[in-house]
Structure 1
Amino acid sequence: MLALILCLFLSSVLAMLFCVVVNTVAGLFVWRKVLAAHPIRGVVILEPNLFRFESQSLKIQGEISTQSRILGSSVWLYIKGFSKNHWLIISANGVNEQSYARLKRATLSAISGAAGSK
Structure 2
Amino acid sequence: MSDVQDYNSSLSDAAQSRKFETFSYLPPLSAESARAQIQYIVDKGWNPGIEHTEPENAISNYWYMWKLPMFGETDVDAIMAEIEACHKAHPENHVRLLGFDNFAQSAGAAMVVHRGKSV
Q: TM-score, normalised by structure 1?
A: 0.26
Bigger Rg, structure 1 or 2: 1
Structure number with greater CO (CA < 8 Å, separation at least 6) is 2
From the two aligned structures, give the one with the greater helix fraction.
1
From the two aligned structures, give the one with the greater strand fraction.
1
